[in-house]
Amino acid sequence: MTDLRQQLQGLWLPLVTPFRDGRLDERSLRQLTRHYATEEARSVDGFILGATSGEGMTLKPAELERLVAIVREELAAHRRSIPIVLGLSGADTARLKESLDETADWPIDGYLIASPYYLRPSQRGLLAHFEALADHAAWPIVLYNIPYRTGVNLTNQTLLRLAEHPNIVGLKDCSASREQSVALLRDKPDHFRVLTGEDAHTHEALSDGADGAILLSAHIETATFAAIQTELKRGNADAASARWQDVAELTRLLFAEPSPAPAKYWLWRCGLIDSPEVRLPMVEIGSELATSLDREIARRMKVAA
């Protein structure tokens, strides 16, 4: 395990969960992990497992545990110490505390926990919720603010209060408000890391000073997404912009239908997973988007050749 507060920066991959005939596809999962642990070794700084992109809400507890075990096994086999953060979600604080207990001895480095959905608690309720979880958790917590999915926004005032907790180390920021994000980056303590989770706005978030990014789109052109931040850190704004222009359209295509179905189709077509299968209520992509993705895959393969 690693020191998550120090590792929470750079490019993190919210790994998709491969399925085949309704089951966790362990062969594809191992292949996928090996790919990002070896071929993309210098690009990926951490994995998120079982969160939105990993269809975590459709995974049974035993499947989630197996998912973590396989990824850790593959990383160990290739002598990679990439940190693993486990996605958890729910609207019941007590049940989430039980989930923290159930996963306390898993080989992970922390948790990514979204705001409680549907109930739309007050800011005082959100503060009490996350403080209770942070007090209880065996591993550090990364907050996940995504109000367009949960129905409630973690305000900067609340986030700054939570940043004071010793077991809350950072934020996946999907607030969809650049104004809020910039203000948080300005006011946050140095030890609290903010990573953008908005694929289509990656360049602007990193330019504004985000510590990194958690990007589904980085399953494809992984090194390019990593290079955007590297060039910005070096002061090469033009080079970063050029890198971004190479993948900006990709972020649109991969979210043209509900994620992660488009990314799974792409990975399947490229041979990294054995099926583009998703679990209901998600469905596989339609024929029109499939044609667009096939065209973009062919174009990129031709450029790479």
The CATH number that applies at residue 107 is 3.20.20.70
pLDDT at 41 (0 to 100): 59
Is 136 within the bounds of a domain?
Answer: yes
Q: Which domain holds residue 126?
A: 4-246
pLDDT at 1 over 60: no
Please state whether beta strands 168-173 and 84-88 pair in parallel, antiparallel, or not at all (unpaired): unpaired
Residue 53: CB atoms within 10 A of its CB come to 24
CA–CA gap between residue 84 and residue 22 (Å, rounded) = 25
Domain contains 301: no
Residues 6+ apart with CB under 8 A from 88: 50, 56, 96, 99, 100, 103, 111, 112, 113, 114
pLDDT at 4: 93
Please give the model's pTM, rounded to 2 decimal places. Answer: 0.96
| Residue 97 forms part of a structural domain | yes
In a domain, 279, yes or no: no
* pLDDT higher than 60, residue 92: yes
Q: 284-305, pLDDT tens digit by residue?
A: 999 999 999 999 999 998 887 6
Q: Note whether residue 166 is domain-resident.
A: yes
177 is in an annotated binding site: no
Q: What is the pLDDT of residues 139-165, one digit of tens each?
A: 999 999 999 999 999 999 999 999 999
pLDDT tier, 39 (very low <50, low <70, confident <90, very high otherwise): low
Structure tokens at 96: 């989430």
Task: For residue 144, indicate whether it is catalytic.
Answer: yes
Which pair of tokens denotes residue 23?
Answer: 């089951």
Number of domains in the chain: 1
pLDDT per residue as tens digits for the range 175-203: 999 999 999 999 999 999 999 999 999 99
Looking at the domain assignment, is residue 83 inside a domain?
yes
Catalytic residue of the set 111, 172, 188, 264:
172
Determine if residue 220 is labeled as part of a ligand binding site.
no
Which listed residue (60, 117, 118, 144) is catalytic?
144
**79 within some domain:** yes
Counting residues of the chain whose pLDDT is more than 90, the rounded percentage is 94
Cα→Cα distances 300→224, 247, 250, 294, Å: 13, 11, 11, 10
What integer is the mean pLDDT of 40-52?
88
* pLDDT higher than threshold 80 for residue 210: yes
Average pLDDT on 4-13 reads: 95
Report the mean per-residue pLDDT for the chain: 96
What pLDDT is stored for residue 38 in this prediction?
Answer: 84
Per-residue pLDDT, averaged over 227-252, amounts to 97
Asked, for residue 194, whether it belongs to a domain, the answer is yes
Q: How far apart are CA 47 and CA 16, in angstroms?
A: 10
